Amino acid sequence: MRTLYFLLLTLCLLFSHLGPGAGYLTGLGQRSDHYICVRQGGTCNFSPCPLFTKVYGTCYGGKAKCCMR
């Protein structure tokens, strides 16, 4: 009987480990920085911001600038 419980415990521990893609679930429900920039009236630019606009933040994970008036 103890052997059965030991095997059951071993199987539970074996299948309880999270897979390599489980870390992606932590970002579920969060908006991207591009979405937030555009929603607030900005534009995402890889080049410098146009005249009469200022850098407000970043887009695409810090690769572009969020420019707003």
- Which CATH number does the domain housing residue 63 bear? 3.10.360
The set of residues, in sequence order, having a beta carbon less than 8 Å from that of 50 and lying 6+ positions away, is: 67
Whether residue 68 lies inside any domain: the answer is yes
Domain of residue 61, residue span: 30-69
Sign of CA dihedral 26, 28, 34, 38: negative
Both tokens of residue 62? 């810090």
pTM exceeds cut of 0.85: no
Instruction: Tally the domains of the chain.
Output: 1
Given this model, what pLDDT does residue 5 score? 82
Strands (DSSP E) found in the chain:
43-45, 54-59, 64-68
Condensed to tens digits (0 to 9), the pLDDT of residues 39-66 reads 999 999 999 999 999 999 999 989 999 9
Sign of CA dihedral 18, 24, 29, 30: positive
